[in-house]
Structure 1
C-alpha cells in the first residue's frame, strides 16, 4: 500500500512539475541537460529524497521503476527536469548611473527700469549658478525706440548673447542705444543680485 501511495504521489508531483516548468521562461540550459537519475538540487529549502530504480525506500522495501524515474530526456525545454527542482527566475542587476544629477533651472526677473524712451525689465534663466538665457521684457516697439530695442535685444539676449557669454552685467554699450543699454544693464544687475 505504501509503495503504491509513493508511486502515485511521485507521478502526480512529476506531472505537476513538468506542466509548471514547461511554460517557465526561467528554465536554463544546465537544468535542461541534467540527467533524470541525478539527485535534484534544492537551494531554496529541504525537499523529499529522490528514489532511483532498484533502491530501497525508508520502509525497507525496494522501489519499483515509475514513469517519473524512467523517463528519457525530451528535446523540448523543461521536459527533462526532475520533480522537486524549481526554476530560478533570472533578474538583471540594476544599472549604475555615472552622470551627476542636472542642476535645476530657475528664472529670476529684475526690476522694471524706466528710461528716456520707455521702460524694460530683464529676466534671466539660471542652471545652478550659471546664466543660460536672458531676455528683456516690455521694450518699446515701433519707430526709432523699437529699432534701438531690437538692437539691444539681439546683442544681449538669448542663449548666445553677451549676458550668457560674459555671465555678468558688464556688457558693451550698443551703438546708438545708450539709454536702452544702460537700462538693460541696470535691470540685469539687479536680477543677478537676486539670484
Structure 2
C-alpha cells in the first residue's frame, strides 16, 4: 500500500516537472519579446490606474547657416521685429510774397464840375478824390451879388463843402436842401453830380 502511494506521488511529480520544463522556453520567449519600457499590465479593478510613460522627445538643435550670427539673432522672430520709426519732413511753409520797392502811383485827383446858372448867380463845384473816395469838396463859384445871396451861399458852402461836409460824409450828391437857399442848393448838387460822373 505504501509502495503504491509512493509510485503515484512520483508519477505525479514527474509529470508536473515535465510540464513545467516544456512550458518554460515559451515563457522565456514571451518575456524576451516584451518591450523593456512598457509598464506591467494591471488588471482592471485591482490596484492603481496605470499611466503610460512619457517618452522624452530629443531636443532639436538648429544649426545656424552662418556661424558668425549670434543665437539671439537666430531666436528672433521676424514677425515681431520692430522697425525704427520714420521721421517725416516738416511741411514747407509758403514763401512770403515779394514786396516791390517801387512806390505806388498817386491816386489823388481833382475833378471840376460845370458852371450851373440860377436866378441869383453861378455855382461851380470841384471835388478831390483819393482813389474812388471823395475826400474834399470846394465851391469855386457861388452867388454873391447881394447880401442875402452872400448869406445863403455861405450857408450852402458851410453845409456841403470841406473835408467834413455832407458831400464827404455821404460820398454822393444826395445832400440836404438848405432852407431859404433852394436855388443855390439845387445848382450845387447839379455841378457836384456832373463832377462825380466825370470822375467815373
TM range (shorter): 0.3 to 0.5
Q: Relative contact order: is structure 1 or structure 2 higher (C-alpha 8 Å, sep ≥ 6)? A: 1
Instruction: Name the TM-score, length of structure 2 as normaliser.
Output: 0.47
Instruction: Name the TM-score, length of structure 1 as normaliser.
Output: 0.48
- Considering fraction of residues, name the structure with more helix: 2
- Higher-Rg member (1/2): 2
